[in-house]
Structure formats: structure tokens, C-alpha cells
Amino acid sequence: MWPNILAFAVGVWLLQQQAFLPGLFWLWLLLPLSLLLYGLQHRTSRPLRWLRRILRMTLWFGVGFFWAAFFAQMRLADALPKNWEGRDIQVTGVISSLPVANARGPRFEFDVERVVTPGARVPAHIQLSWFDGGFGKPAAYPIPDLHPGERWELTLRLKRPHGNANPHGFDYEAWLLERNIRATGYVREGPGNRLVSERVYRFGYLVEMARDSASRRLSRVLGERPYAGVLKALAIGEQSAISPDQWQVFLRTGVNHLMSISGIHVTMVSGLFFALTYWLWRRSQRLTLRLPARKAAVVAGVLAALTYALLSGYGVPTQRTLYMLSVVAIALWLGRNSNAFSVLSLALLTVLLLDPWAVKSPGFWLSFGAVAAILYVSVGRIGRPRWLEEWGRVQWAVTLGLVPALLALFQQVSLVSPIANALAIPLISLVITPLTLLGTILPVDFLLLAAHEVMAWCMTFLTWLSALPATVWQQHGPPPWTVIVALCGVLWLLLPRGFPARWLGLVWFAPLFLMLPPAPRQGELWLTVLDVGQGLAAVARTRHHTLLYDAGPSFGTEADAGSRIVVPYLRGTGVSRLDGMVISHDDIDHSGGAASVLQSVPVGWTISSLPERSPVLSGAANKFRCFSGQQWTWDGVRFEMLHPTWGSYQNDRFKDNDRGCVLKITTAFGSVLLPADIERRSEQDLLERLPDALAANVLVVPHHGSRTSSTEAFIRAVHPATAIFTVGYRNRHGHPKEEIVERYLAQGIETWRTDTSGALDLRFGAGGMTLQSQRQLRQRYWQATD
């Protein structure tokens, strides 16, 4: 059975790699395959038996592929029309999720019941933010206290799902699709937003109401205690309550899997209710005669697991555990023995039947991979080892088995995770989580306070462990084939004791670490203009050096492009340090991610036009001001600073934009000009001082294509073949302005936009300049194409 389910899973996975959805009429191809399989079912010769198995797996593969395609067709059909993006739409609907608090207001999911605006069409399920005013302006209408299950009449502005597209980056559009969020937007300020009814009594809303009630109780009891957010994550899956610093500790020590509602927690809760029910039920002769104690305990255990899974948000790890427990429960109820691998396979099939996009989630691979590794070293082995030996074997299997997946998904592995998990797993699963759940359900504050105190002790140890040198192995993103080879090495290393030469499994790991990403040759320049939304970040690589020009915007108090986009890109491409970083000026869309980069990656020196005491540069060791005349050569590639002049720093009337660091990079195969956000004044200054130095093959358009820049004289002087607009999708500034784009097109210049193309990879080599778009290289059926 399990090979067929595995073939089904491969079919589902393959569909998620497609650039376009296949027409469902191709489903008829499975009919002749089914007929052939039916005709061979009674043949007994060995070749025909093998053919029958292959045909059966092929059929399951096809069913998985088209099952996922059917779901995708249905989900994509519920779309926001492009002509209704950015327009006021009045709707009535219900808050369907626990609101998440952000710096500027709550974010929540919303079920649309009725569209009031004539002619408008809105998807049934959307995600909204409710801002407290806008960009420095106070709110005219304060944000109300929002609760799940409330019915509201709101005026919205929406846009279709759109995210940044970068190598080794997070696919936000896929994440929205999996959650059936078919539009995002915000609530417009105004008197028309009103509460229609306080409670809508449907099952899903009742679950979210219970989560909301639990969240508020935890907040009321724990207040501002440092690990209140961790307990919220353990009780109701509210992971957003954990601070970035705490997440960093969990990631570095490899215990982050415990901060989601993992299978360990669900199994613990289920086992606790099973044991308690079994113990109590056996003490009643009347109850035992009506229903055997073991069957009653099975029902209690499954119901407890289901309740905890629903309250926790019903993520992939909890789904997998719940389905496995359910299969085991059915087997116990029927009095049958259940094979462990069959249980895991049925859980896999159930997850993919209900959620074909689960294969896009790292939790899917890590969850099923961990359980598969445990079963591989536990089931069918001869002998009964002692509990300590068995525990050590399981820890070794999970740690080793997940290395290829962790390197492929995150390009890092915690080296201290076995030590950290040895303490964290029993403490969090057997002490902290039970106390937190009991304290959430029962009106006994002491239980929550005790859970927080134990968590504080645990965090003291984890924080000390994470601060040790070399706690995390970080490297480039390995090629897919090396991950498969390493998994074969895992299987060989974990063979039962007595198999010869098990150490050879380590050899299979070698390509995972030794197959380095390609690098520029001598004299070549590889420039990647990252898709950071409304802002700029570009990585310039020569044979032995790397420069970061700007670090993208800040996304709020807890996230920025540096940590979300730049650092993952550097790590994935094998860049372990930056030789230099240029922060062109003090605008937050260019400098917002700089602090995160300085904290995460060694940086040789930093050049900027920022004030000397700018907090952005507080982590920089060697920092200098940029000025015209600075130049250096790396590996045959020349870097030259054209602007600003040194005297501009003495002129207080200079705007930050006009003091931006303008960098020109020149190779034997072409050149690129990076002019930051300079405006007409600085463009004219460059035309007067350095008219012959401006010419470049590629121009990153100044100030994102605003009307204040890109004068015709400047464009003629640069005379680029290619112009790149670094803009955010439907940004509030309206960049790039239509007349500016037309100004470039009128001069025969090819134009690109990061909001529609994603990151742009430019390579200056012997064949000239080549340009590749991330959305073209990795096109998927759910991505926005216009």
C-alpha cells in the first residue's frame, strides 16, 4: 500500500512545480491505464506482476497529480478582478481568525458574506489589516477591539495576492494560496465601518472564539512577562507572540520545532487523556460492561488530540499526528494490529487529500521525515535495547535524518540541537505544556505562573547554549540531487548494527557540502537586484569579493528586508561574508535592512552618506562616508563612487536623496550605474562634473521612477540599453510614474520592474550582458503574471 501512497504524493508534489495548470480533460488518460490494470489483475507470472505494480503506482501518481490540479483550479477561480484592485469596496462578513497584533494595528482573516458595492466581486476569504491612521497621521477613527466570530460591515481596499520573488526566498503567494486567502488589503478609515453582530455561531468561528478567550486569559495572567508569548504558542499556536530574539535562540539551538504545536505535544495530550480515561473507566463495572475500558480510552484520546489540534491552529505537524493517532485508534477499536509504516502512509494520504499544498510547507517535510526516521530505526529491529540506548538511537536518527532537509530548506543546521533537545523536549512536553494547558482551561493562575517560571529556567540554558561559538552550521543551498544522495547515505548509516561498512554512508553526504554554487570568473560581474518591494538592495559579486549596495526597507518593528530577503539570498548562494556594504542614504527603504545584515553577516567595511551617529550603522566596525573620487578594483572589476561631493556634507540644505552614494561598476564586458534616489539637482551636478563618466549599459533607475528624477538629459548621458525600476507592487507612491517609463521607452531602452519580474540576475561576461528574471526562472501557476 505505501508505495502507491508515495506515488500519489509524488504526483501532488509534481503538480506544485508546474508553471501552468493542466486542463482536467487530460484526466481521461488515466482511463486506458485503469482498463489495462484491470485486465492484468489475474495474471500471475512474475514479469506481469511487476508490470501490474508499476501500472498501479503510475495510476496513483496520475490521480495525485490531477487531484491537486482539481483543487488548484477551484481555488484560483475565486479571484479578485484586476480592475477592482485599489478601489473602495463595501462588504459584510465575519472575522474568521484570531487577530494578530502588529505595530500599526491588527491583521486578521475575513469571510466575505455579502458585497454591498454594486458590480464589485470579492473572493470569499481574504486577509485584512486595520491600521491606526497612516504613515505618521493620527487615526481619525480608533481601531476597535476585534474578536473572532464578529460580523462587520467594512469598507476595504484590496489587491490580488502578491509577494516578493527572490532566490532562496519565502513564497508568500504560495503561502496565501494554501490558506485559501485570495486577496489582501486593509480597512479604510471612516464612519461606515460598523459592528453588525457580536457572535456568529458556526463551528470554525467557535474554535477561534475559544482560542481568543485562551489568548486573553494568558495575557491577563502573565502580563508583560518575557515568555508569555512562548506559552501562547504552546497553548494555542500563536507563534507571532514569540519575539524575534527568542526565535533566534530557538533556531540556533534546534528546538524551534517545539515552539509550534508539534506531534510530541499532541501525542502527550492524547496519551494523558487515554491513560486517565482508562484508569477511571476500569473502576466502574457498569461502564465497563457497556463499553470496554480500552475503547473508551481510545475515544477520549482521539477527542483530546482533535481538540488540541483545533485550538492550536491545525498545522501540518498536528494534522499528521492526529491522523496517525486516528488510524491507530481505529485499529485498537477493531482489535487489529496496525503496521507503523502503514499508519504513517495513511496519515500522509489524508494530509494530501485535504491539503494538496502541504508539500510546499517545510513543516510537512520535517514532520514526516522525523517520524519516518524514528520508525526506520525502531520497527523490525531485533532485540530490546534499554530505554536510554533506545532514546539515544532515536535522537541520533532524527538529527542525522533531517540534516539534508534542513540544509535544503534553511541552509543551516544547529550543531547543539541534540544537547538542547535532551533538556527541552522533556521539560516543554511533560512539564511546561501540560501546566500551560491546565492553567488555560482551569481558573488557577498559579499553574500558568509555574509554567512561565520553568520556561524561564529552560530559556536560561538555551540562551547560554545559543551564545556559544559555532553553534550553527551555515552553508550554501545544496543542489537537489545532492540532497537525494545524502538521504541514501542516511539510510545506509542507520542500518542495523552488524551491517558491514555502515560508515560509507558518510561518503554519500560529501556532495551535500562539497558541491559549491557557481561563481564569477576573473573580470566578470554578477549583479543581482533583489525584489525587496518598494526599496533597493543589490548584490554585486566578483570572483573573490562581494558588495551589498543598500539593504532594502524595514517592514515594521520586527522584520526587514535584511533578515527576510538579503541574508537568506547571501547564505543560499554561498556568500559567507561581505567585503563591503554601501548604504546610499538615510531613507528607510534603502537602509531599513542594514542593521540585520550587519548582525548576521561579517562585513569588512561600510560606506554611506548617513550621519556618523546613525543607529543603522551601530553594528558596523569600519565605516566611512562616500564621496566622489573613491574607487577600488576587485578581480579586474572597477568600482567608482561618482557622488556626492565631499563639500555637500557641509551643506545643510542638501536633501538625503541628493546626497545619495552613486556607484558605477565597470567591467570589460559592460557597466552598471547605481544612482540611489538622487533627484534633478544631483543629476544636473553629475552632468556638469562628470558627463563622460555616466555612460553605462544598465541603469538602476533613480528614485524608483519618480517625477523628481530621470531627466531627459541624464538619461541621454547614461544612454543605457537596460533600465531597472525597483518598485513595490501597487506601492502608495505610484512608482514608477507612467510618464517616466515612457521617457525611457521613447529612447529605445528596455525596461524591467522588480514588482512584475521579481529579482533580476545580471551577468557581465565574455558573451556580453545576460539578464534573467526570477519569476521567469521559477514560474509557478499561482504567481501573478501582470
Per-residue confidence (pLDDT) for residue 316, from 0 to 100:
64
Per-residue confidence (pLDDT) for residue 322, from 0 to 100:
81
What is the value of pTM for the model shown? 0.90
Higher pLDDT, 330 or 199: 199
Angle at 205 between CA 203 and CA 211, to 5 degrees: 110
CA distances from 514 to 475, 482, 510 (A): 10, 10, 6
Higher pLDDT, 548 or 393: 548
Where residue 288 falls among pLDDT bands split at 50, 70, 90?
Answer: confident
Whether 94 and 113 have beta carbons less than 8 Å apart is answered as yes
**In percent, how much of the chain has pLDDT > 90?**
57
pLDDT at 263 over 70: no
Mean pLDDT of the chain: 88
Most confident of 135-149, 253-267, 763-777: 763-777
pLDDT digits (tens, 9 = 90+) for 56-91: 888 888 889 999 999 999 999 999 999 999 999 999
Hey, is 44 helix, strand or coil?
coil
Whether 326 and 349 have beta carbons less than 8 Å apart is answered as no
For residue 771 the three cell numbers come to 539578464
The Cα 64–Cα 69 span in angstroms is 9
Higher pLDDT, 42 or 478: 478
Where residue 345 falls among pLDDT bands split at 50, 70, 90?
Answer: confident
**CB under 8 Å, gap of 24 or more: what pairs does 356-359 form?**
356/12, 356/15, 356/16, 356/67, 356/68, 356/71, 356/72, 357/16, 357/174, 357/177, 357/178, 358/178, 358/316, 358/319, 359/9, 359/12, 359/13, 359/16
Per-residue confidence (pLDDT) for residue 242, from 0 to 100:
87
In eight-state DSSP terms, residue 785 is -
Per-residue confidence (pLDDT) for residue 338, from 0 to 100:
65
Average pLDDT over residues 381-397: 71
Whether 80 and 120 have beta carbons less than 8 Å apart is answered as no
pLDDT at 259 over 80: no
What is the strand order of the sheet 760-765 is part of?
623-625, 603-608, 578-583, 546-551, 537-541, 525-529, 760-765, 768-773
DSSP structure string for 453-517: HHHHHHHHHHHHHHTSTT-EEE-PPPPHHHHHHHHHHHHHHTSPTT-TTGGGHHHHHHHHHH-PP
Q: Within 13 Å of residue 584, how many CA atoms lie on the same side as its CB?
A: 33
Q: How many residues does the chain have?
A: 786
User: In Å, how far from its chain's centre is CA 695?
Assistant: 40
Per-residue confidence (pLDDT) for residue 618, from 0 to 100:
84
Alpha-helical runs (H) found in 721-773: 738-746, 754-757
Per-residue confidence (pLDDT) for residue 40, from 0 to 100:
60
The Cα 113–Cα 205 span in angstroms is 14
Where residue 44 falls among pLDDT bands split at 50, 70, 90?
Answer: low
Higher pLDDT, 322 or 389: 322
Where residue 130 falls among pLDDT bands split at 50, 70, 90?
Answer: very high
Per-residue confidence (pLDDT) for residue 500, from 0 to 100:
82
Strand partners for 760 = 529, 773
Pairing, β 722-725 against β 750-753: parallel
Instruction: Mention every residue, 6+ apart, whose C-beta is less than 8 A from residue 19.
Output: 779, 780, 781
Sign of the four-CA dihedral 90, 94, 96, 98: positive
Angle at 236 between CA 235 and CA 239, to 5 degrees: 100
Average pLDDT over residues 717-721: 96
Average pLDDT over residues 596-616: 91
Per-residue confidence (pLDDT) for residue 284, from 0 to 100:
85
CA distances from 273 to 504, 505, 535 (A): 45, 41, 53
The Cα 398–Cα 258 span in angstroms is 14
Percent helix, strand and coil across the chain, each rounded to 5? 50, 15, 35
Per-residue confidence (pLDDT) for residue 563, from 0 to 100:
92
DSSP structure string for 77-103: TS---GGGTTSEEEEEEEE-SPPEEET
For residue 623 the three cell numbers come to 565605516
Per-residue confidence (pLDDT) for residue 135, from 0 to 100:
52
Per mean pLDDT, which range of 323-332, 377-386, 467-476, 754-763 is the poorest? 377-386
pLDDT digits (tens, 9 = 90+) for 682-691: 999 999 999 9
Whether 59 and 30 have beta carbons less than 8 Å apart is answered as yes
DSSP structure string for 216-249: HHHHHHHTT-TTHHHHHHHHH--GGGS-HHHHHH
Whether 541 and 520 have beta carbons less than 8 Å apart is answered as yes
pLDDT at 317 over 80: no
Helix (H) or strand (E) segment spanning residue 569: helix 567-572
Burial of 652 (0-12, 13-18, 19+ CB in 10 A): exposed
